[in-house]
Amino acid sequence: MKTFFIILLIVLTFQNNFSQQIFSPDGKLELNIKLSNQNELLYNLSRDGKSVIKDSKLGIDLVDQPDFLQGFKIDTIITSTYYDKWAPVWGEVDSILNNYNQLQVTLNQPKENRKIIVTFRLFNDGLGFRYEFPVQDNLKYFRIAEENSNFALTGNHKTFWIPGDYDSQEYTYTTSLLSEIDASKGKNFDDIIVKSLPGKDIVQTPLMMKTTDSLYINIHEAALLNYPAMYIKVDRNNFNLSTQLCPDAFGTKAYMQTPCKTPWRTVIVSDKAEDILASKMILNLNEPTKYQDVSWIKPQKFIGIWWGMHVGKDTWNYADINNVKLDEVDWNSLKPNGKHGATTENTKRYIDFAAKHGIDAVLVEGWNIGWEDWFGNWKEEVFDFVTPYPDFDVNELERYAKEKNVKLIMHHETSASATNYERRLDEAFNFMKEHGYNSVKTGYVGKIIPRGEHHDSQWMINHYTRVVEKAAKYHISVDSHESVRLTGLHRTYPNWLAAEAARGNEFNAWSKGNPPEHETILPFTRFMGGPMDYTPGIFQIKMDYYNPGNTHQVHTTLAKQLALYVTIYSPIQMAADLPENYERFPDAFSFIEQVPVDWSDTKILKAEPGDYIVIARKDKNSDNWFIGAITDEESRSFEIPLGFLDKANYEITVYQDAQDADWKNNPMAYNIEKYNVQKNDLLKLKLAPGGGTAVILKPIK
Ligand code: NOJ
Ligand code: CA
């Protein structure tokens, strides 16, 4: 399809009391902008004539300089239309339509003799807007005290929220009215180790809301570059939302130099929950990749020396010592603790398992020195990323993995010492390349160094980007944990395969865990910005299997763990349980063996945040379709018309909860059925409380 970009209208030198509008390409959404009596910039958004966002102010507060809040005069307005189709390197679909109408307003502040541009893009699925600061005599360097983008909502909407924490998104969601939000509390609130909570009324994005007349509204951001992450301040009486940025060590929000721009602020809106999940607007607002060659970027499934540590069976550390100074320890003379997971022998066992079951890669955590006291000391030099423990033979494992045609995934836990990591990055990536690694899982557990910075402050946003850009030079892909939540930057940096940046499955191993509804909310929140390394596939649901009396458990059935491979989208998916647990259930594991991580098509069949999700996806490399259906704590039945299939006849394999399965009392009971279906059949699914169904459809002649 041809790309086109048409400028429809140029209007010069406006008087005040003007108002200007654009519509989405399908005519459903309408955006209006105007100036208030104080000459502030206001916008409003409606859908099918119904208000979504009432008149709301836009502007920026500066430090030590007059603000960009009022006293505006319209200089120019340019409207245009854009239409393009593009192919992502990997993704949920193989072709993405990027179609919007744009309104770009240049505002003058005659008193200051300064200019600011606000660009609005209206898609069929929502609105994006951003501020731009062109080169000009009276604005060169400036600091942002706060961004004042407002979203005046039409009522007390139902909201799926987590606290606006500068250092963590690892919370479970609370569903409440806007008026009831209290970000100093929440479910499973005490599980979070590092908390930086600015206020009761501050929540994270993506913020998902539902109005009383069933309009779904999602607020987030796109293309977060050289700027802090944004939170939402909720006026709990008037239902006005406003932006609040993550501060740096001095309390400053952002340091800017013209020409520059902010990330896009996004409002995705539909009367169908399914449309929210299908939206590609955030990706479309990101720039195409500048990488010339992307052939080295590979979606992948992996297993890892990982869950053993989370369930307390293995350790990351080699010896039981503390107060470690990296250079001063003679590692060879230390007595091992006998529980070290990352040994050569154990890694070979994982490589063998991966080779046998067609799993692409093996992650090894705890392979490098430093884990003896890695966390909580605010210590700068924790890991050097190039020195293996004495029982991890990096050369032999390189050879062995190559022989078995399995990739090894490097682990770089930084202990949040980002300065240390940056200093050592070239050496660390060179070491990876020398030993055949092409993917890295990074991690930022703890308080950030540079001290006083936050996981979401501008310095760290730039850090994550620097790591991904440098990794690309080495043809390395990144899966970042405890990094900022994603904003569609994987369009620009397709080697940023996934981030964690939310509460993953790991919490089920050692805390109150994730309630059964958690995975039905995540796609409407965290996943709006991009893939998450959620680590599905835990078969041994209850932790008393490892330690009698341990009451922790995964809050799903086993069948739901399979369905997550379809309902959760990521080009890098872990089969997170221990190989020995998969060997106990080979028939269920066959689903994980077969499920792809790259798709040519996706149909969001049924969805309601907090309740259920049913998604069908087509494999990018075959004609096979896969369906994942998940529910919250309620048992549910679905009737799925199979009309979306592209062939007439299929063999279907259904991995489902047993009749008496239940996430709490009988989570591991499942059965598998195989039969033939046709395109016009109705597929009936029955999900247990906390359950799920996973389906494979293979065309037959
Ligand atoms: C937290 C990560 O989410 C987890 O996957 C990892 O095992 C630990 N940090 C240690 O790096
Ligand atoms: Ca984590």
Ligand nearest to the CA of 367: 1
Output the CA 310–ligand 1 centroid distance in Å: 9
Question: What residues line ligand 1, using a CB cutoff of 6 Å?
Answer: 306, 365, 413, 443, 445, 481, 500, 506
Q: Which of 27-31, 270-274, 319-323, 412-416 has the lowest mean pLDDT?
A: 319-323
Ligand nearest to the CA of 170: 2
Residues with Cβ within 8 Å of 403's Cβ and at least 6 positions away in sequence, in order, are none
Calculate mean pLDDT across residues 294-307. 98
Ligand nearest to the CA of 167: 2
The residue whose CA has the least distance to atom 3 of ligand 1 is: 481
For 686, how many CA atoms within 13 A lie in the half-sphere containing its CB? 10
For the chain, give the mean pLDDT: 96
Count the neighbouring beta carbons within 10 Å of the beta carbon of residue 466: 14
From CA 142, how far away is CA 150, in angstroms rounded?
A: 22
Per-residue pLDDT at 665 exceeds 80: yes
Sign of the torsion formed by the C-alpha atoms of 200, 202, 204 and 205: positive
Calculate mean pLDDT across residues 604-615. 98
Same topology, domains 4-284 and 301-501? Answer is no
The DSSP 8-state label assigned to residue 595 in this structure reads -
The DSSP 8-state label assigned to residue 689 in this structure reads T
Write down the pLDDT at residue 10: 53
From CA 383, how far away is CA 412, in angstroms rounded?
A: 8
Q: Which strand ranges, in their side-by-side order, compose the sheet holding 599-608?
A: 599-608, 612-619, 625-631, 692-699, 649-657, 670-678
Nearest ligand 1 atom to the CA of 482 is 3
Pairing of strands 300-305, 572-574: parallel
Question: Which residue among 168, 365, 442 is best mutated to probe the pocket of ligand 1, counting the most ligand atoms within 8 A of its Cβ?
Answer: 365
Sign of the torsion formed by the C-alpha atoms of 393, 394, 400 and 401: positive
Output the CA 232–ligand 2 centroid distance in Å: 23
Closest CA to 625 of 522, 554, 684, 700: 700
Closest CA to 221 of 289, 150, 282: 282
Question: At 451, is the secondary structure helix, strand, or coil?
Answer: coil
Q: Which of 325-329, 553-557, 572-576 has the lowest mean pLDDT?
A: 325-329
The domain 503-532+555-568+596-701: what is its CATH number? 2.60.40.1180
Output the CA 483–ligand 2 centroid distance in Å: 9
Nearest ligand 1 atom to the CA of 306 is 7
Which is catalytic among the residues 30, 147, 500, 506? 506
Per-residue pLDDT at 34 exceeds 80: yes
Write down the pLDDT at residue 1: 42
Output the CA 682–ligand 1 centroid distance in Å: 42
Per-residue pLDDT at 194 exceeds 90: no
Ligand nearest to the CA of 341: 1
Percent of the chain with pLDDT over 70: 98
* 344 backbone dihedrals φ, ψ, rounded to 5°: -60, -45
Output the CA 604–ligand 2 centroid distance in Å: 28
Question: Which residue among 302, 305, 410, 445 is best mutated to probe the pocket of ligand 1, counting the most ligand atoms within 8 A of its Cβ?
Answer: 445
Residues with Cβ within 8 Å of 603's Cβ and at least 6 positions away in sequence, in order, are 615, 616, 617, 644
Write down the pLDDT at residue 18: 78
Per-residue pLDDT at 6 exceeds 70: no
287 in catalytic set: no
Calculate mean pLDDT across residues 34-40. 96
Nearest ligand 1 atom to the CA of 365 is 7
Per-residue pLDDT at 12 exceeds 60: no
Calculate mean pLDDT across residues 81-87. 98
Token duo for residue 418: 């980002």
The domain 301-501: what is its CATH number? 3.20.20.70
The residue whose CA has the least distance to atom 2 of ligand 1 is: 481
The domain 4-284: what is its CATH number? 2.70.98.10
Nearest ligand 1 atom to the CA of 310 is 7
Contact yes or no for 204/455 (Cβ under 8 A): no
Task: Break the chain down into helix, strand, coil percent, rounded to 5.
Answer: 20, 35, 45
Token duo for residue 61: 């507060």
- H-helix or E-strand containing 649? strand 649-657
Mind listing the pLDDT tens digit for each residue in 99-120? 999 999 999 999 999 999 999 9
* 40 backbone dihedrals φ, ψ, rounded to 5°: -90, 155
From CA 372, how far away is CA 384, in angstroms rounded?
A: 13
Question: Which residue among 412, 442, 481 is best mutated to probe the pocket of ligand 1, counting the most ligand atoms within 8 A of its Cβ?
Answer: 481
Ramachandran sector of residue 32 (left: φ over 0; alpha: ψ -120 to 50; beta: rest) = beta
Mind listing the pLDDT tens digit for each residue in 41-77? 999 999 999 999 999 999 999 999 999 999 999 999 9
Would you kindly state where each structural domain of the chain is located, as residue ranges? 4-284, 301-501, 503-532+555-568+596-701
The residue whose CA has the least distance to atom 11 of ligand 1 is: 413
Mind listing the pLDDT tens digit for each residue in 225-235? 999 999 999 99
Token duo for residue 613: 């999700």
Nearest ligand 1 atom to the CA of 411 is 11
Contact yes or no for 607/273 (Cβ under 8 A): yes
Output the CA 504–ligand 1 centroid distance in Å: 10
Count the neighbouring beta carbons within 10 Å of the beta carbon of residue 288: 11
Output the CA 509–ligand 1 centroid distance in Å: 12
Nearest ligand 1 atom to the CA of 500 is 3
Give the residues across from 238 on adjacent strands: none
From CA 27, how far away is CA 269, in angstroms rounded?
A: 14
Write down the pLDDT at residue 664: 98
Output the CA 341–ligand 1 centroid distance in Å: 14
Ligand nearest to the CA of 479: 1
The residue whose CA has the least distance to atom 10 of ligand 1 is: 413
DSSP E strands: which ranges in 49-156?
50-58, 60-62, 73-86, 96-109, 114-123, 126-133, 141-147, 150-153
Per-residue pLDDT at 9 exceeds 70: no
pTM here is 0.97
Calculate mean pLDDT across residues 637-664. 98
Token duo for residue 168: 């963590």
Question: Which residue among 455, 506, 508 is best mutated to probe the pocket of ligand 1, counting the most ligand atoms within 8 A of its Cβ?
Answer: 506
Q: Report which residue type is found at 82.
A: Y
Closest CA to 534 of 512, 508, 558, 510: 508
Nearest ligand 1 atom to the CA of 309 is 7
Per-residue pLDDT at 566 exceeds 90: yes
